Chains A and B, each alone.
Chain A
Amino acid sequence: MAFYLEEQNISYGDFTVLSDFNLSIKKGEKVALLGKSGSGKSTLLKHLFDIQKDSCTYIPQELGLVNNLSVFHNIYMAKLDENSLFENLSNLVFPSSKYKQQILEVLKHLELEDKLSSKIANLSGGQKQRCAIGRAIFDAKPILLADEPISALDEYLSDKTLKLLTSMFDTSICALHNVPLAIENFDRVIGLKNGSILVDKACDELTQEDRQKLYYVCD
């Protein structure tokens, strides 16, 4: 079991967003969280990350990139805790070719290999998102928690990136807006509305009524 929540109250600041919340997610499951903004997706993801920091990598909506650093450095940051202070410092000033090679591999999957040394400040919104995804992949933890990671990507890249994410991580939980992409790329969908679960089913068991409900929660 990757996550098991039973009758939990989860709050954002002082405000309880999800009350008496039940959820269990098995290891290896690919779950899409669907719902409008304000439905509690972000709060849920943040909570899941807080209770299992060590095995999760987390892509927040605001991405958490450092504007004045290059794509290389922002992706390398996933390894800050693993490496020594000395190694971190030397990579800040002189990026080592070993890491450059590894990170370039990640960037190739994201069609971003020409941006290795570009500053984040000079990237477009979609490029920034892919850089944050690159960091998550480089982090190489078993569980991915991603909060709308493809909201600024076009259709082709959205599909490609989601396939990449679900294949790279053993377990992945992604907040999304796009119902067809969710059903196509994930094993299970959860539809959230005002802090409670309206739909929670495996994708191959979805009825027409379930699909309508999903479109309804995303509207």
Chain B
Amino acid sequence: MFVTKNLKVSFAIVFVGFISFLFADLSVSTVDTTQLVKDFFFSIIKLTFNDYTTLFEAFLSTISIAIVAIFISAILGFFLALFFQNMFVRISLSFTRAIHELFWALIFLQIFGLNTLTAILAIIIPYSAILAKVYAEILEEHDTFPQSLRGKSKISYFIYTKIPDAFPHLVSYTLYRFECALRSTAILGFVGITTLGYYLSSSFMQGYYNEVWMILILFYIVVASVKWWFNKYTFLPLSIASFFYLDDFSGFSWDNLVRFFTSDIIPHPIRNDLGMDKTLAWFDNIFSNEIMPGVFNTIVLTQLSLLLTAVLALILFPLVSKKFFTKPTNMFSHVILVILRSTPEYILAYIFLQLFGPSMLPAALALMLHNGSIIAHLMGNETNLLKLRVDVTKKRNEKYFYEVLPRVYNQFLAFLFYRWEIIMRESAILGILGIATLGFFIDSAIADFRLDKMFLLLLVTAFLNIIVDLISKKARAYLRANDSFTSCGCSLK
């Protein structure tokens, strides 16, 4: 009698999450875990770095790559948004979107080598696809001018009637994406490009935890202060300066590009004309040894992390809500959540991996902390907007379960579904760290220089993401969750 749509969906999430628990390997395998954790966390008190010039340059190159990439992505994204109604554009963009920027970096590494060009392209390609989609949504949402009054000069009318109302929203979304680009660029260091991630991982491997903290804390400061140094007054000079600052575009080679598309990624039995049987055997081998386990593990990690994210968000959001705690607690929790959500999942997972050894545990923890804090933050904002009656109960638990949670539960599920696709994309990529999700097999295919296999696995990864995206859309429609949004939900997409 009391079974609502919300409840059914939540039950499904919990059920699948539990099943995933049973299949997930969550073991701790480092020998001296407690000591390691202690060493790591205590080294925060003596921040140093052995070569500050290098550190400074790493920051400069991370920031300038992010700026150039977002600048070009915004322009490309805007033009693509104009053609978003076109089926072909829509489908190819959802494919490019579904592949993580680190995978793009791995692809371009094969074509152009280790240089700035690779880094910028790796950001531009997925980011312009994401921006195109969201720009198209924003432009459609702000289409209030009556069709009948629209005249013949289409471009003039577009500029006068659509752009003015949509512009502030386009700008604020682009700025949010810039923050993401900073994080993505930093992570590109993990595949060898000399951005922050590169120095972070090398300090970590040498056991210089104080350097790791130094990089992390400076990075938080840079991200948290974005709106003071990257805004409408500074973006043009900064973009121009970044274009001039960056060099090392020398790796561009048409021959490599052509070879990559016409030869490298063609399955080798087809390339060498070995006949149908060999081709099928090639495919069958990859399918049963890599695609099946890769897809399975990716789904297990995704669903497990989704459930953990949900639990963490439900626990954390009262801490940042004015409805439950006073200002000091709110402020303190805010700082913690900002730190958690500005640390890329990849870096969190990397740190946990060093501390706990390879299993799904580091990845699941990282995904839980990052996504849980994002959703908790948004939920906190939603609950602050709620108007409860004056004589509402003072007991926190009763308030939580009777007054607040029922009111925001629909939004909560919507947030969770929005993050689902992102969790899936990250689950795949975290395979590079050694967990047997799709990223693991992609990374090993590249290491063996079997680019045909890499390409096939990437297609599978993209396909999996698109399916999740479609299910999430269906689920949100089923819950009518989008109607209940009060915030734009920008930081979810």
- Look across to chain B and name the residue whose beta carbon is closest to the beta carbon of A89: B159
- Give bound CA distance, A73 to B167, whole Å: 16
Q: Nearest chain A CB to B78's CB is how many angstroms away? A: 16
Whether the pair A49, B161 counts as a contact (CB closer than 8 A) is no
Q: List 6 A-B contacts (CB under 8 A).
A: A50-B148, A66-B145, A67-B165, A68-B167, A77-B160, A88-B153
Residues 142-183 (chain B) with a chain A CB within 8 angstroms: 144-146, 148-149, 151-153, 155-157, 159-161, 164-165, 167-168
Whether the pair A80, B160 counts as a contact (CB closer than 8 A) is yes
Residues of A within 8 A of B167 (CB): 68
3 closest cross-chain pairs (CB), A and B: A68-B164, A81-B151, A80-B156
Known: A46-B148, A60-B148, A81-B151. A68 touches B160 (CB 8 A): no
Known: A66-B160, A68-B167, A69-B164. A58 touches B155 (CB 8 A): no
A-B contact count (CB 8 A): 51
Q: Nearest chain B CB to A84's CB is how many angstroms away? A: 9
- Look across to chain B and name the residue whose beta carbon is closest to the beta carbon of A88: B156
Whether the pair B146, A64 counts as a contact (CB closer than 8 A) is yes
A62 within 8 A of B: yes
Q: Nearest chain B CB to A150's CB is how many angstroms away? A: 19
A85 within 8 A of B: yes
Whether the pair A69, B160 counts as a contact (CB closer than 8 A) is yes
- Chain A residues packing against B (C-beta within 8 Å): 46, 49-50, 58, 60, 62, 64, 66-69, 73, 77, 80-81, 83, 85, 88-89, 92
Known: A50-B148, A58-B149. A68 touches B156 (CB 8 A): no
Chain B interface: which size bin? Answer: 10 to 19
Selected contact of A80 from candidates B144, B148, B151, B168, CB within 8 Å: B151
Known: A69-B164, A80-B151, A81-B151. A64 touches B145 (CB 8 A): yes
Whether the pair A49, B148 counts as a contact (CB closer than 8 A) is yes
Query: Please, what's the 1-or-0 string for B116-159, where 1 marks a CB less than 8 Å from any CB in chain A?
Result: 00000000000000000000000000001110110111011101
Selected contact of A85 from candidates B148, B153, B164, B168, CB within 8 Å: B153
- Chain B residues packing against A (C-beta within 8 Å): 144-146, 148-149, 151-153, 155-157, 159-161, 164-165, 167-168
Residues of B within 8 A of A83 (CB): 156
- Give bound CA distance, A66 to B151, whole Å: 15
- Give bound CA distance, A107 to B20, whole Å: 68
Whether the pair B156, A60 counts as a contact (CB closer than 8 A) is no
Whether the pair A66, B159 counts as a contact (CB closer than 8 A) is no
- Give bound CA distance, A66 to B152, whole Å: 18
- Look across to chain A and name the residue whose beta carbon is closest to the beta carbon of B161: A66
Whether the pair A85, B156 counts as a contact (CB closer than 8 A) is yes
Residues of A within 8 A of B164 (CB): 66-69, 73
Q: Nearest chain A CB to B439's CB is how many angstroms away? A: 43
Whether the pair A64, B157 counts as a contact (CB closer than 8 A) is no
Residues of A within 8 A of B161 (CB): 66, 77
Main secondary structure of the interface of B (DSSP, over half): helix
Residues of A within 8 A of B159 (CB): 88-89, 92
- Give bound CA distance, A73 to B161, whole Å: 10
Residues of A within 8 A of B145 (CB): 64, 66
Whether the pair B160, A60 counts as a contact (CB closer than 8 A) is no
Residues of B within 8 A of A49 (CB): 148
- Give bound CA distance, A23 to B164, whole Å: 40
Whether the pair A58, B148 counts as a contact (CB closer than 8 A) is yes
- Give bound CA distance, A145 to B148, whole Å: 13
- Look across to chain B and name the residue whose beta carbon is closest to the beta carbon of A63: B146
Residues of B within 8 A of A50 (CB): 148
- Give bound CA distance, A77 to B164, whole Å: 13
Residues of A within 8 A of B168 (CB): 68
Residues of A within 8 A of B146 (CB): 60, 62, 64
Whether the pair A73, B149 counts as a contact (CB closer than 8 A) is no
Residues of A within 8 A of B160 (CB): 66, 69, 73, 77, 80, 88, 92
- Give bound CA distance, A196 to B379, whole Å: 54
- Give bound CA distance, A195 to B151, whole Å: 29
Q: Nearest chain B CB to A93's CB is how many angstroms away? A: 10
Residues of A within 8 A of B155 (CB): 85
- Give bound CA distance, A172 to B146, whole Å: 21
Residues of B within 8 A of A58 (CB): 148-149
Residues of A within 8 A of B165 (CB): 66-68
- Look across to chain A and name the residue whose beta carbon is closest to the beta carbon of B162: A66
- Give bound CA distance, A64 to B148, whole Å: 9
Whether the pair B157, A80 counts as a contact (CB closer than 8 A) is yes
- Give bound CA distance, A67 to B162, whole Å: 10
Q: Nearest chain B CB to A57's CB is how many angstroms away? A: 9
Q: Nearest chain A CB to B173's CB is how many angstroms away? A: 16
Residues of B within 8 A of A81 (CB): 151-153, 156
- Give bound CA distance, A62 to B146, whole Å: 8
Q: Nearest chain A CB to B143's CB is how many angstroms away? A: 11
Q: Nearest chain A CB to B150's CB is how many angstroms away? A: 9
Whether the pair A64, B151 counts as a contact (CB closer than 8 A) is no
- Give bound CA distance, A80 to B161, whole Å: 11
Q: Nearest chain B CB to A53's CB is how many angstroms away? A: 9
- Look across to chain B and name the residue whose beta carbon is closest to the beta carbon of A86: B156
- Give bound CA distance, A88 to B151, whole Å: 13
- Give bound CA distance, A66 to B165, whole Å: 7
Residues of B within 8 A of A67 (CB): 144, 164-165
Q: Nearest chain A CB to B270's CB is how many angstroms away? A: 50
- Given A73-B164, A77-B160, 6 further pairs, Cβ under 8 A: A58-B148, A60-B148, A73-B160, A81-B153, A81-B156, A92-B160
Q: Nearest chain A CB to B142's CB is how many angstroms away? A: 9
- Give bound CA distance, A83 to B157, whole Å: 12
Q: Nearest chain B CB to A36's CB is how many angstroms away? A: 22
Q: Nearest chain A CB to B162's CB is how many angstroms away? A: 8
With most chain A CB atoms within 10 A of its CB, the pick from B148, B159, B161, B164 is: B164
Residues of A within 8 A of B153 (CB): 80-81, 85, 88
Q: Nearest chain B CB to A134's CB is how many angstroms away? A: 14
Residues of A within 8 A of B149 (CB): 58, 60, 64
- Look across to chain B and name the residue whose beta carbon is closest to the beta carbon of A57: B149
- Give bound CA distance, A73 to B153, whole Å: 16
